Structure 1
Amino acid sequence: MDSFEQLIGKNINEVDLNESKTFFIALLEYDTKHCGKRYPSSKYKLADMDYYDLISFSQLFKKEAILIVWYNMDIITDLEIYYLSNDFDILFNDYYIIKKAIDNGLAHKLTEGDTKYLGASRLNEKVPQPHSDILANKREFVLKKKYLQKIIDEISFSCK
């Protein structure tokens, strides 16, 4: 049997199906624990972060929902539409924490533990940041695994 990546013809990380005007489309892999509980395999990247020209919250979340194509072992098992707009208050607070750190020249001190659902995932490359002479790791905005776990849990896949 062909792998999932072969079937769609691209590496999963390179797929860009976000042509929709109303929702993001995310191909998300999950793993299972022995009892069958599902958990996400990775974070979901929303956008690269430019410390000098930070994308606005409204641009970052210009789509209010996410169509999630859940797959495991190269097999699509579920499709789900989840309304991010239900969590905009928490996502906005997370965005504000990240933006405030950048504005204060503290991008080098950001950790994903600083926020709840929206993360500033660290990359290996060091880049300049505003208001500081200290180089900071380049980052990208992501929906954290914790948030994706919340979404999986809401579709009731749990251990019995």
Structure 2
Amino acid sequence: MDSFEALIGKNINEVTLNESKFFFIAPLKYSTKLCGKRYPSDKFKLADLDYFNLISFSQLFKKESLLIVWYDETGLITDLEIYYLSNDFDILFKDYYIIKKAIDNGEAHKLREGDTRYLGASRLNEKVPQPNSDKLANKRELVLKKKYLQKIINEIRIKPY
């Protein structure tokens, strides 16, 4: 990975962000409202969701922090921050449990992102079998929701230019 200081001011497409064993590397695009407030443009994918071999919570969050590489609409990297997910493990675990319970009960086809607060089971278009049910369910991926990323932005208070 490029050195942290060297990333600021570069285009996100010009840098290589290698996986780290210590933290998730999260290149996150943000947009800016007219009032200057920033908000995330998308969710952050953590893992694919396999209904028949569900990743454990401890394995999903083996890395307890995010290195957030914030970039704007033009692709310019503007900020780097480290955020400790462990601060929110209680809520993330409750969300994980809701998703796991739906899968265990054969109701993965009924999951909605609105069922959880920070960790979401984001739907994909492909339908796949699910355990304990004859119904097909949309394939999904586990994501940190935009609402959670907004909470992170608000807590970090990224400085305006």
Per the TM alignment, residue 111 of structure 1 is displaced from its structure 2 partner at its CA by 0.2
Q: CA deviation at 1:4?
A: 3.3
Runs (5+) with no aligned partner, structure 1:
10-14
AA matched with 2:63: K
- Structure having the higher strand fraction is 1
CA RMSD, 1 decimal: 1.7
1:4 aligned residue: 12
Structure 1 residues 49 and 158: CA distance shift in structure 2, 3 A:
same
1:3 CA displacement = 5.2
**1:12 equivalent in structure 2:** none
Kindly, what percent of the aligned residue pairs are identical? 75
8 Å contact 1:124–1:137 — kept in the other structure? yes
Runs of 4+ in structure 1 off by over 6 angstroms are none
Normalization by structure 2: what TM-score? Answer: 0.89
- The alignment covers a number of residue pairs equal to 150
Secondary structure at the counterpart of residue 153 of structure 2: helix
- What per-residue deviation string (whole Å, max 9, x for no partner) do you get for residues 42-92 of structure 1? 000000000000000011000010000000021111100000000000000
- List alignment gaps of at least 5 residues for structure 2: 1-9
Aligned to 2:4: none
Q: Does the residue aligned with 2:134 lie in a helix, a strand or coil?
A: strand
In structure 2, what is the Cα distance between the partners aligned to 1:88 and 1:37? 27
What TM-score do you get using the length of structure 1 for normalisation? 0.89
1: CA distance, partners of 2:60 / 2:145? 15
Task: Give yes or no for the alignment of 1:61 onto 2:69.
Answer: no
